[in-house]
Amino acid sequence: MIVNEATRRLLITAGPTYEPIDAVRFIGNRSSGRLGTSLAEHAAALGWEVSLLLGPNAIEPTNPQITLERFQSTSDLENLLQTHLPESDVLIMAAAVADYRPAPEEVNLEGKRRREGGNLSIRLESTPDLLAGCSKIARDDQLLVGFALEPKDRMISSALSKLARKNIDLIVANALETMDSDSIEATLIGNTERGVEHESSTSGTITKTEFAKWLLTQLEPLTDQRKSINA
Encoded one letter per residue, x for contact with ligand CTP by CB under 6 A and - for no contact, window 162-201 reads: x---------------------------------------
Check binding of 129 to ligand CTP (CB under 6 A): yes
Contact region with ligand CTP (CB under 6 A), list: 49-57, 61-69, 92-100, 116-124: 92-100
HEC readout, 32-46: CCHHHHHHHHHHHHC
Q: What are the φ/ψ torsions at residue 159 (nearest 5 degrees)?
A: -65, -40
How near is the Cβ of 1 to ligand CTP at its closest, in Å? 27
CB 183 within 8 A of CB 207: yes
Q: Which amino acid is at 88?
A: S
Strands (E) across the chain are located at: 9-14, 19-20, 26-27, 49-54, 67-70, 90-93, 100-102, 124-126, 143-150, 170-175, 183-184, 186-190, 199-201, 206-207
Kindly name the residue from 4, 29, 167, 174 that is annotated as catalytic. Answer: 29
29 carries an active-site annotation: yes
Choices 2-10, 47-55, 141-149, 187-195 (CB under 6 A): range interacting with ligand CTP:
141-149
State the nearest-atom distance from the C-beta of 4 to ligand CTP, in Å.
29
Out of 15, 36, 61, 146, the residue judged to bind ligand CTP by CB under 6 A: 146
Part in contact with ligand CTP (CB under 6 A); list of ranges 47-55, 82-90, 95-103, 110-118: 95-103
Our CB check for ligand CTP shows the closer of 66 and 149 to be 149
- 177's CB contacts (< 8 A; 6+ apart) are 151, 152
- How many other CB atoms are there within 10 angstroms of residue 181's CB atom? 12
Give catalytic residue positions.
29
Binding site for ligand CTP (CB under 6 A): 93, 95, 97, 99, 127, 129-131, 146-149, 162
